[in-house]
A = this chain, B = another copy of it.
Amino acid sequence: MSNQAALESWMATQLAAVERALNAWVSIDTTVDGTHQAPADLMAAMRYAVQGGGKRLRPLLVLAAARAAGAPDGAEAALRAACATELIHAYSLVHDDMPCMDNDVLRRGKPTVHVQFGEAVALLAGDALQALAFELLTPDPAVIGVAQQARLCRLLSRAAGCAGMAGGQAIDLASVGLHLTEAQLREMHRLKTGALLQASVMMGAACGSLAAPAEAALQTYGAAIGLAFQVVDDILDVTADSATLGKTAGKDAAADKPTYVSLMGLDAARAYAQDLHAQALAALADSGLSDVDALRALADLVVDRSS
């Protein structure tokens, strides 16, 4: 992709493919195997959780990394992996918003799932979205080869579990009102947000074929943007308003949660985000890969976003 217009067109095409696929796969009618008979109200809550926006950053990372790793555009493995990361992300938001966690009533400008469907259905919808992510990754072996299926499940399960996202959320929960060191805060975010973002990059890479040094470079890229994402999140929590964010602004400060802003101040947090952005771009340059424009654009998006 040699110019900005081609890149933007590629991004728009990928985003449309992800929306189409999510719409088809989180559905009572045309499901993963065509054999689903999920109850309608559960599926409605699952669809509600997945639809209606978000930046689809994780799916785009999967698809951009797949492209960098030489997977053909539109490869089924990459599209399934892309949607699987979004399902894990969506389930984590549903559970995170519940009264026993963050007790949030607004998400992407809409009532949260438990407000709309009740707590019990929200709990089950989150559980079912997690399972559905692994269903998506394990179709008939004619669709995705078994080695790729195994690798994708391996990456996603570890990123989602107790040493990944769920573990990070547990640390977050236990950290309210505590003073964390920068190392502790970084570890929390590495698990809570970084693990799934990094896994998205590596799952995309697994859909193509990479030499070890290029794979290591993408791992570094994924770690840098994973952390940058959270630093920017902390900045936006204090600088943006709820309407722009589509969720309740200022809630970290209100909940007395440690953040990069509370730890290092706003200016230093901004400089840190820029530094991580530079690290991500340097890793791409080091990778020796030629087709990294989309990954570079996503690094920009992570740091320059306003919501």
Contact = CB atoms under 8 A, between A and B. Distances in A.
Nearest to A36: B163
B36 A131 contact: no
Number of copies of this chain that the complex holds: 2
B39 A167 contact: yes
**What 7 A-B pairs are tightest by C-beta distance, nearest first?**
A131-B161, A100-B119, A38-B162, A134-B157, A42-B170, A138-B154, A128-B166
A135 B158 contact: yes
Contacts of A162: 36, 38-39, 42-43, 46, 128, 131-132
A232 to B, nearest CB: 24
A35 interface: yes
Given A101-B123, A124-B166, A157-B138, A174 B130 contact: no
A95 interface: yes
A121 interface: yes
Interface string A147-178: 10111011011101111101101110110000
Contacts of A223: none
A280 interface: no
A191 to B, nearest CB: 8
Nearest to A144: B150
A3 interface: no
Contacts of A158: 33, 131, 135
Most B C-beta atoms less than 10 A away, residue of A157, A160, A162: A162
B153 A38 contact: no
A123 B98 contact: yes
A215 B71 CA distance: 36
A31 B167 CA distance: 14
A31 B173 CA distance: 23
Nearest to A37: B163
Nearest to A133: B157
27 contacts: A37-B163, A38-B162, A39-B170, A39-B174, A41-B170, A42-B166, A46-B162, A91-B127, A92-B127, A95-B127, A98-B123, A101-B123, A120-B173, A123-B123, A124-B166, A124-B170, A126-B127, A127-B127, A128-B170, A130-B130, A131-B157, A131-B166, A133-B157, A138-B153, A138-B157, A149-B150, A153-B153
